[in-house]
Amino acid sequence: MSTPCPPSVLCARPGDVRAASQDLKRLVSGLEPDAVVIDEAPEVWAEFDAIERVIASAKLLMARRVEEARTWQRQGFRSAVEQLAVLSGTSMSSARSMLQTSKHIADLPETAEVMRSGELSVAMTQAVVSAAAVAPDAEAQLLATAVRSPLAKLRDVCLKARAGASQDVSHAWIRRERYLREFIDAEGAWNLHARGTVDDGARFRAAIEPLIDGRFNTNRAVEQREPREAHAFDALIELQPHPARPTPSRQFGRWRSSASTTARCSAGPLKATRRARSPASDPSPSPSHVTC
């Protein structure tokens, strides 16, 4: 049951949004770029861009509410992320980023207000939110930069704001945002991507490096030697002490059994990296990535 809207708040109903959409569709349906006065073309484009920013901001604001509605459960989706991806025609990673950003915006009212004015693109909003969530005191500065500076400059300022956060806060943020994701790519290969703290990455490397070295050294004398990255992948699979039976084929990166499926790494069969940083410029702990 929905709660009544306060007098100062607009509770958008589907019909309200649909009416605005129909007006915009009528405008675009009659748009002929070559008929636009050439000197007015940049201004017309800028007005459409402003409309796009407003609509994109509305989608970001609403994304967390879509998850709360739980219609994805009744409609057969495995998660709200999958529902958003299908409805918007985007990737799972894009939908996931949208939902995560939407949740953080709820704690950043100043950012939400600037979004509603249409001054921020999606990329700008995501940059501001990701930094302000770690360094909330920098929110006003980040928004001021976003309004008057290009995206590249904003990202530099966001990096400095994140670097200025305490190590404990940064570590807690990385830990909270940790993930391990898998998907089947267009060629039918299994891909795995993980992100977490450097400490967790060190524990993973301590477990897998001896297996990689053992496999690589054992096969060094073989006539057709395989690269170390291939042995790294085999070591990753070997980390599982009791292999489970594969389940039937599923979409969106779930396990699937197929004789023709190749398991491989998306950016090199196995990489574990720690971002280079200087203590003076970046005191916060860097995330550890494992991609395969």
DSSP letters for 17-56: HHHHHHHHHHHHHT--GGGS-GGGHHHHHHHHHHHHHHHH
Name which of 169, 181, 93 is nearest 131 in CA terms: 169
Rounded distance, CA 209 to CA 290, Å?
Answer: 13
Between 86-90, 137-141, 189-193, 248-252, the lowest mean confidence (pLDDT) is in 248-252
Task: Transcribe 63-109 into DSSP letters.
Answer: HHHHHHHTHHHHTT-SSHHHHHHHHHT--HHHHHHHHHHHHHHTT-H
Task: Answer with the residue of higher pLDDT: 72 or 287.
Answer: 72
The pTM assigned to this predicted structure is: 0.60
Amino acid (one-letter) located at 100: Q
pLDDT of residue 184: 84
Residues 50 and 157 in one domain: yes
State CA 132 to chain mean position distance. 16
How many independent structural domains does the chain possess?
A: 2
Name which of 219, 255, 224, 222 is nearest 237 in CA terms: 255
DSSP letter at 269? Answer: S
Mean pLDDT of 155-181: 79
Domain that holds residue 78: 46-165
Tokens representing 146 are 């976003």
Task: Mark which of 165, 199, 221 sits at the end of a domain.
Answer: 165
Task: Answer with the residue of higher pLDDT: 234 or 246.
Answer: 234
Tokens representing 215 are 């496999």
Question: Is 262 a member of any domain?
Answer: yes
Task: Mark which of 165, 190, 206 sits at the end of a domain.
Answer: 165
Amino acid (one-letter) located at 167: Q
Task: Mark which of 119, 135, 165 sits at the end of a domain.
Answer: 165
CB environment 165-184: b (16+ within 10 A), e (fewer): beeeebbebbeeeeeeeebb
Between 129-133, 184-188, 193-197, 255-259, the lowest mean confidence (pLDDT) is in 255-259
Would you say how long the chain is, in residues?
A: 292
pLDDT, one tens digit per residue, over 169-212 is 667 777 777 888 888 888 888 888 888 888 888 888 888 888 88
pLDDT at residue 80 tops 90: yes
Instruction: Report the percentage of the chain scoring pLDDT > 70.
Output: 74
Question: Is 257 a member of any domain?
Answer: yes
Mean pLDDT of 20-24: 92
Mean pLDDT of 220-237: 77
